[in-house]
């Protein structure tokens, strides 16, 4: 059975704040390297350097080479399925939909990484499932995400 995957995108805005218009631009042009650097609303990062910083935070993460210069960091418990995908413009945290207490446990782990990236490097987070943009995921965002997972998981599994 394929797992339903949730994702949270993290970026460092050049202006100190991330706006919906900037996210629209990223989702429209983010896969293209043809755009001049001045047009990009988020900073370019060094994936390997950021991966090393995340490994200092959590040395149990398992690194894997992604496409090009990208790096994947896998949470050591494969049952939780957490992957931090570090690319040249940010980080995407992937994890499976889970229900009840498991969702809150999973989100608590992810929140640790999100908060670290915000506090240490100025990353803002965007949750495309809830369409929530924030400078650091807060407890309310986590609760909203957990409720979304609990509400939609049964419907997704039955459909």
pLDDT digits (tens, 9 = 90+) for 28-69: 998 888 889 999 999 999 999 999 999 999 999 999 999 999
- How far apart CA 106 and CA 108 sit, in angstroms, is 5
Instruction: Say which residue, 30 or 130, is predicted with more confidence.
Output: 30
Q: How far does the chain reach from its first CA to its final CA, in angstroms?
A: 13
How many CA atoms are closer than 13 Å to the CA of 72, on its beta-carbon side?
13
- 121: pLDDT strictly greater than 90: yes
Confidence of residue 139 (pLDDT cuts 50, 70, 90): low
What are the structural domains of the chain? 5-158 (3.30.310)
Query: For the sheet containing 71-74, what is the strand order?
Result: 62-65, 71-74, 83-87, 90-96, 5-11, 124-127, 132-134
pTM for the structure as a whole: 0.86
Q: What is the pLDDT of residue 53?
A: 98
- Distance, C-alpha 95 to centroid of its chain: 9
Report the percent of the chain where pLDDT is more than 90: 53
**Residue 135's pLDDT is what?**
62
- The residue with greater pLDDT, 159 or 8, is 8
Q: Are 107 and 97 in contact (CB under 8 A)?
A: no
Answer whether 67's CB lies under 8 Å from 60's CB.
no
E runs forming strands in 12-149? 62-65, 71-74, 83-87, 90-96, 124-127, 132-134
């Amino acid at each position: 059975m394929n797992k339903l995957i949730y994702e949270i995108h993290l970026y460092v805005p050049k202006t100190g704040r991330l706006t919906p218009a900037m996210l629209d631009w990223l989702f429209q042009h983010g896969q293209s390297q043809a755009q001049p650097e001045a047009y990009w609303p988020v900073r370019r990062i060094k994936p390997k350097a950021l991966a090393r910083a995340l490994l200092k935070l959590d040395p149990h993460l398992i690194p894997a080479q992604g496409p090009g210069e990208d790096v994947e960091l896998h949470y050591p418990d494969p049952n939780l399925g957490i992957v931090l995908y570090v690319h040249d413009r940010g980080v995407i945290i992937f994890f499976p939909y889970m229900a009840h207490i498991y969702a809150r446990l999973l989100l608590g782990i992810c929140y640790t990484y999100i908060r670290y990236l915000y506090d240490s490097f100025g990353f803002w987070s965007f949750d495309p499932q809830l369409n929530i943009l924030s400078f650091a995921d807060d407890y309310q965002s986590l609760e909203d995400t957990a409720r979304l997972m609990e509400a939609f998981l049964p419907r997704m599994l039955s459909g």
